[in-house]
Amino acid sequence: MSENTNEKPHAHPTPGLYLIILSILVIGTVLTFFASTWDMGVFNPIVALTIACTKATLVILFFMHVRYSSKLTIVTICAGFFWLLILITLSLTDYLTRI
């Protein structure tokens, strides 16, 4: 393997780290499954979505290497989620304000 003196070293996750992330994801799945059977009133969907967002964040940061990626990649992803936020909130301003 040649020495890459021209490029900065790319940090990369190890298989051990992938296994840890996998374990957390599996635990999160089990947790969300059982949490759906607990009566938390209005918090049930909030808890479910919070767990889902945490799992998605872990997949994005580690499996998709975003933790080790350029700022351009991070800005691109944030732009995507910002767009989704606009879609959902502005659509809801219509439907939630109907008499």
Partner 1 sequence: MATSQTPTPAAEHRHHPAWAHQFDDMDQQREASSFAMWVFLLTEIMMFGGLFTAYLIYRLKYYDAYVAGSSSINVVWGFANTLVLIGSSFTMAMGVWAAQKGRRQQQVLWLVLTIVLGTAFLGVKAIEYKDKYDECHIPGQVIGKGFNATGGIGCSGEGANIAEELQHPKNANGREVPGKPAAAAEQIARQTEIFFVFYFAMTGLHATHMIIGIGVLFWLVWRAHKAEFGPEYYTPVENFGLYWHFVDIVWIYLFPLLYLINRIPHR
- Give residues in contact with partner 1 (CB under 8 A): 1-7, 12-15, 18-19, 21-22, 25-26, 29, 32-33, 36-39, 44-45, 48-49, 51-52, 55-56, 59-60, 62-65, 69-70, 72-73, 76-77, 79-81, 83-84, 87-88, 91-92, 95-96
Which token pair is 54? 């945490």
73 to each of 17, 52, 76, 78, 85, how far by Cα in Å? 21, 22, 5, 9, 19
DSSP 62: I
The answer to whether 55 and 28 are in contact (CB under 8 A) is yes
Which token pair is 25? 């994801």
Q: How far is the CB of 99 from partner 1 (least distance, A)?
A: 14
DSSP 40: -
Q: How far is the CB of 76 from partner 1 (least distance, A)?
A: 5
